[in-house]
Amino acid sequence: MAVRGTVDLGHRHRVGWHLLVGVVATPLAVAIAANGTVALGQRLLALGTLAVIVAWYALVSRQAMEYGDERWGVVYFAALVVAFPLLLAIAPLGGALMFALCPQLFVMVARWRIRLPLLLILYAELAWAMIARAGVSRYTLAMVGVTVLVPMTVTILVGAYLTGIREQNRKRATLIEELTRTRAALEHAGHEAGVHAERERLAAEIHDTLAQGFTSILMLAQVVRTNLLRDPTAADGQLDILEKTARENLAEARSLIAASAPVDLTGRSLADALDRLAARHTRDTGTRVEVSTVGDWPGAPTGTDVALLRTAQEALANVGKHADATTVRIELRHEDHLMALAVTDDGEGFDPATVRGGYGLLGIRARAAGLGGTCTVRSAPGQGATVRVELPLAPAGQVARTLRPVLDLSTTPTAERAEPGR
């Protein structure tokens, strides 16, 4: 039976236990050898018995203490129960050996139901040796009480106290191990969550930039194919637009790989980036896009500018795919500690209460929620649509560095749910 506390105590304080045996056995051996009142043969027999006890300790202590095998401790003390009274019968001074035996007992034997009987037997042998030598008298009984009962009681109390401390330490060590494992599991879970969030962020970025750019390229290529033979001059101009769109898409791809700000925001303000976006959408689709700004413009964190620009990109892409609009208005507004972007079109509109899903609006909501903001979608059939995102203006250090996706739309009001494909 292995007991962890015993293993730790025996292993870490190995030298101390050996030193204790030496400190007790050496003066005891000197006292026995120097006792001239005892015959030489008895002294040699006592010294031999003491040597056997010390050798027995050296042979068994490693298994009983360092390896924590209680069975070895029981075997060790079972032999001492036989050898100890022999030493006491020859040399009463051998009782001093109890200073080493009692601590060993509490380390080598873990269970009280084994430990306590062994302790009582050893002290009973000590009491028997005193009574056998001095005879039964009130003085002898008083001496037994002072030299046997009092030390035995103190030994039991101290042993119980130390055992409690050791058990407490064992539980604390177990708790620390569990906490270490839990922390490692949490770190792993956090890493996995971070990887998942980064994948979702990249998916949203790719959807709002590269996918939309490829869609524009595909539409332009189809128009060029139609006009190539019928109107070569118009087709040539459209090829220029196609090439420019492809280059812009390539620049966005490089920006994503470098994890830098969108190309339109590089060296420009958000208002300038929206103007470029509006002009590009008008050029590619023919739909007129107006941009207006309201309020003073403080230096907003990059994450806020990126989220609002991506919102405008996705909203315009949805207008081009679904709305069949003639005019789109983008309004950028600064209100107190809030930045708001609204994209309104005069297209066909839709009923938000009857539709579900849509990765585009899902990405917009995820970005807004990741920065502590809100996304509202208002529309009705035949009345166009408005997508409005409001983001708090917090210090740059407080804005999330990555726009973690918030995929649970169960709490989104019905009026804000997205049309498929939007």
pLDDT tens readout for residues 89-131: 888 888 888 888 888 888 888 788 888 888 888 888 888 888 8
pLDDT exceeds 50 at position 1: no
| Neighbour tally for 277: CB within 10 Å | 19
pLDDT confidence band for 12 (50 / 70 / 90): low
- In the prediction, which pLDDT does 276 show? 87
Mean pLDDT value across residues 45-66? 84
Token pair 């791809």 is found at 253
Q: Which amino acid is at 398?
A: Q
First vs last C-alpha separation in the chain: 67
How far is 271 from 336, CA to CA, in rounded Å?
18
3-state secondary structure of 410: coil
How far is 278 from 290, CA to CA, in rounded Å?
7
How far is 375 from 386, CA to CA, in rounded Å?
10
Mean pLDDT value across residues 268-278? 86
Give the model confidence (pLDDT) of 344-361 as tens digits.
Answer: 999 888 887 776 655 677
pLDDT confidence band for 257 (50 / 70 / 90): low
CA atoms 97, 98, 104, 105: torsion sign: positive
- In the prediction, which pLDDT does 10 show? 46
